[in-house]
Each structure stands twice: as C-alpha cells, then as structure tokens.
Structure 1
Amino acid sequence: MAIYYIDGEFVPAEKAVIPVDDLAILRGIGVFDLLRTYDGKPYFLDAHIDRLETSALKIGLSLPWSHDDIAGVVNQTLARNDIPEANIRIVVTGGSSTDFMNPSGSPRLLVLVSPVPRLPDHWYTRGVKIISWEVERPIPGAKSIDYISASLALKKAAAEGAIEALYIDRNGLALECTTSNIFAFIADKLVTPGRGILSGVTRKVVLQLAEGLFPIDVRDISRTELLAAEEVFITGTSKGLVPVIQVDEGIIADGRPGQRTLQLMAEMKRHTEKK
C-alpha cells in the first residue's frame, strides 16, 4: 500500500484524509503539480516545484514552505514507498475555513505517489486522435485543482475515440490540451503556442531538444492552421511525446506519425535514459 504525505504526516493511502472544512473541498481552491520518476529519481523536480509556487502565487495562496522543504517532503515520500517508477502529485490546498469562504488556517501540503501507468504502445507507433473543445482556462499559467472543464472535455473525447481534448479560445486559436501542450510542424518550422497556456515542463524539454534540429516559432496557431499542419504532436509529464494523426474529423497529413516527430521522440528517449 502506498504511503502519502498529508499535512505533516506520512500515512497509508487508505487513511489519508483532510478536514471537510478545507477550501479545496468547499470551493475548489488549491493548486497541484504532477511529475514522474525515471530510474526512481524525480524528473525535473525543481522545475515542477517552481511551477507549483507560481500557480499558488497566481491564485493568491501564500506557501509557508520553502522550495527545499517541498523537495525534501517529495524525496522522503518516495523513500517510504517501494515503487520502481512513480507518478508524484504535489497538492497545496486552500486550508480550513470557518466561514466556508475565506481561509482561516494555513494551506495544507499533500504528496501522493502511484505507479506510472503503462500507456498503449500504439499511441506512439500509430498516433492518436484528439478533439477540439471551446474553452479557456480562467487563470492561464495556474495549475489549479479545478478540473471540471477538463473532465467534461475528456469524457467527450473518450466518447469520440480520442485520448485528449484541445482547448480552443474565442478567437479560434489552439491553446493546449487538458493535460498536454500542443506542437505542430508548419511550413518546415516547429510551432507551439506561447500565451494563454500552462507551460509544461516536458514542453520546455522538447523545445530545448529541438534547438539546432529545426527552426522554432513560438506563436499563436489557429485551429484551421493546425488541421493543415504537416505533423502534430502533444507532450505531457505522464505521456511524454505522442504523435497526433487526427483532430476532430480532420486527418493530419497522411495519417501517420511524421519523421520529425519520430526524431524528437528518439531524442526524448535518449534524454530520459540519461536521468
């Protein structure tokens, strides 16, 4: 059974609880970040904690823990679990509230671990379908615990044989997916949106790996432009880099993962194997 860190204590997963007056429960106030291990070691832990701190700042949560405090808790939690490769979810809740609206106590820090799930091989060899979903994050750049829109979008995606939903804003621009960033090869350039998004850590790694390999253009992408792209792929912590061969009913190019996408997948594999 997994051991979690819950507000100052390490407890078995089945005994992990927080008070019902926590604003995470009452109002959906809280932030989180998700990372994984490679060879048992947290992948870009500092970058994920940085993003957690930024998310908290954006929604007005003051963290009583230092960066090193949070890193220490993550490593201690991992050490108490025998999981070869783990997903690590760091959660900061809004804390308890006597009036059920405003915080009256300190935020709570939670660290949950679970085995990294094995995703289908065909995602990477044959590519996947995603759908578009017209919605915008209320606070771009904040990884908040409010995932109602994402949950509805993923339910619709699953019903249409897709694995992800791409957020489209009021101007018809492709932003990001529910738990992924979007990339496309357009006119021989690697293009990815740069505003109105939650910038993923895996996204940053891909951009670093792509330097020197392809021209890079961080800019807006319209849904129409995306459908006409030469290649499309998504990136995320738990899924890595996944080729996209279909958006809604539109087939991308010849309906197969593109060579440049496969090249970046190979670069990613070499990169993670060094960790």
Structure 2
Amino acid sequence: MFIYINGQFIKKENAMISPFDHGFLYGMGLFETFRVYEGHPFLLDDHLERLNQGLAVLNINYRLQHEETKNILQELLKLNRLTNAYLRLNVSAGIGDIGLQVDSYQNSNILFFPKPLPPAGELTEKKAVLLKTKRNSPEGDERLKSHHFMNNILAKREIGNAPDVEGIFLTADGHVAEGIVSNLFWVKGNVLYTPAIHTGILNGITRQFVIELAKKNNLSVEEGLYPIKEVLEATEMFVTNSIQEIVPLSTFEGQQFPGKLGQVVQHLHREYRDYCKRLWSRHCLRSE
C-alpha cells in the first residue's frame, strides 16, 4: 500500500516522521476521514473547509486547497488500484522544541492514508447502548477532529469490538450527545432531532449533509439539549458518519425501533446514494 507524505508517494512501511513532531508530543494535529465512491471523494470540499478552520484554531500555518487535494487523491488511488476507498487525511503541527509553543507552526506533516472498501451496499442496522463513560468537554470552544481521542478509545473499550453495536455518550449534565464514532439522529412526527453542537459533539460532515438533506425533503430539523427519556420516545433512530454513512438503530436501552425498515431512514438513504458519487459539498444541494 502506498501512502502520501509531504509531497511523496511511498510504501507505508517506509513512512517516517520525527519524534519531535508536536502532533505526537502534544496532540497538535487534525484529521479527516472520508469515503471515495467510484473514484469520487464525497463532500471533499466540506471536509477541507472543516480541516482548514481547525488548522487556524491550532495555529498551524497550512491550508489544503481543492485542486491540490484532488490531484493527490487521484494519484494515490491510481497507485493503489482503488476506486472505492477509505481515505484519512492527517495534518500534524510538525517539528518543534520540547515545550509548549506559542508561535505558529510553519512546517506541518501532511499525510494521506488509503485502504480499500467494497462498493457501497444496502442499509445495515446497529444496536445502540448507553455508555457509562461520559462525553468529555472540548479542549476549546468547539470540538475539533483532533488527535485527542482517549475519550473515544475508553468508550470503545467499554463496548468491545462487536461491529453491530454503537455506544452513545451522555454529557456530564445528562444530555444525549453522540456515538463513539458517529452523530445521533431520531425522528418524531415530521421532525428530525439531533443534539446541538454546544453539547460538545463533533459537527460531523455527514451530520451537516443529512441536516441539509432532511430540510430539502421538507422535514423540520431541531437541534438542542435532550434527556435520554425524550430520545426514547422516537419513532426512528439512526447514526451517521462519513465511512458508515446512515446507519439505522434497531434497539436502544432495551427499546425496539424499526431499524432499516424505518420510512425516513430509507428515504434519506436513497437520496444519499443518489448524491454520493457526484457532490463536492452539501451546499450543492441548494442548487439541485
């Protein structure tokens, strides 16, 4: 497998970065994961927008542009003979002296990691369980998709490796937050609900796309603070992320839900399939 690192395409076993990289020493780094469908990197511009905003927060003086990123991806897919793939884009702060740096970082490490995925398939269900581990608060004003992942790892250890189970965080105040690697949605009537960003959740790219998709399909969308009791009154429930897409939930806290038979989740999934091979940004929905 070939990866990209700082302008070079090299075999993954030959990749090296310095132990003085502040992404390693202090967690000063960000990443994005996205899916490539038949050669198309779905919502690439949205991922780059979020990444670049986060780099500004971390004082990392680097921005990724559309054409540069697209060209790197095309070459990486060609070298690895991939058309459907998982891609992780990682930007770390780069080398610095030991100690907390105040000045901006000028020499970042830029890495792309691919791995093969099968072509996108039908809806698959998961079961949800409530985690004992509470969602930690973000390091700054809003959660970044950063190297700080211990909270997620502790939660994953709590539920184990079962592929059909997702753990759901509560905040320290008892509000429903998000999954270990996903955002949470539920349906009541003609309203799609999801926790607000100020609960400390990651503002997922698929989360943002599904909100736009729901509005386009005449669903009302409400974001807020919700106790578990209110969430369990839902008629449908699902989670989202950029690799697993839209995943309906069949059970949560012992309560049954329609899972992949839910009408709303089926409709949103059909629409998702229609767009995943051609859209560069959720904003394109407004012109469709």
TM-score norm. by structure 2 comes to: 0.83
SS at match of 2:80: coil
The answer to which of 22-31 and 96-105 deviates more is 96-105
Q: CA deviation at 1:263?
A: 2.2
The 3 A distance-change label for structure 1 pair 117 and 141 is farther
The 3 A distance-change label for structure 1 pair 141 and 117 is farther
Distance, in Å, in 1 between the alignment partners of 2:65 and 2:36 is 22
Q: CA deviation at 1:201?
A: 1.7
Runs (5+) with no aligned partner, structure 2 = 280-288
Q: CA deviation at 1:264?
A: 1.8
Q: Which residue of 1 aligns with 2:276?
A: 272
Distance, in Å, in 1 between the alignment partners of 2:259 and 2:44 is 36
Distance, in Å, in 1 between the alignment partners of 2:59 and 2:213 is 34
Q: CA RMSD in A?
A: 2.7
SS at match of 1:80: helix
> Structure 2 matches for 1:1-275, cutoff 5 A?
2-63=1-62, 66=65, 68-99=67-98, 101-102=100-101, 106-116=107-117, 124-132=123-131, 133-139=133-139, 140-158=142-160, 163-196=165-198, 197-211=201-215, 212-247=217-252, 249-253=253-257, 257-272=261-276
The 3 A distance-change label for structure 1 pair 66 and 266 is closer
- Whether the 8 Å CA contact 2:60–2:106 is kept in 1: the answer is no
TM-score norm. by structure 1 comes to: 0.86
Distance, in Å, in 1 between the alignment partners of 2:65 and 2:162 is 44
The 3 A distance-change label for structure 1 pair 256 and 75 is closer
* Count of residue correspondences: 271
Q: CA deviation at 1:119?
A: 9.0
The answer to which of 255-264 and 189-198 deviates more is 255-264
The answer to which of 217-226 and 147-156 deviates more is 217-226
Amino acid at match of 2:181: T
- Whether the 8 Å CA contact 1:35–1:238 is kept in 2: the answer is yes
Q: CA deviation at 1:160?
A: 7.8
Distance, in Å, in 2 between the alignment partners of 1:235 and 1:8 is 32
Runs (5+) with no aligned partner, structure 1 = none
Amino acid at match of 1:79: K
The 3 A distance-change label for structure 1 pair 162 and 37 is closer
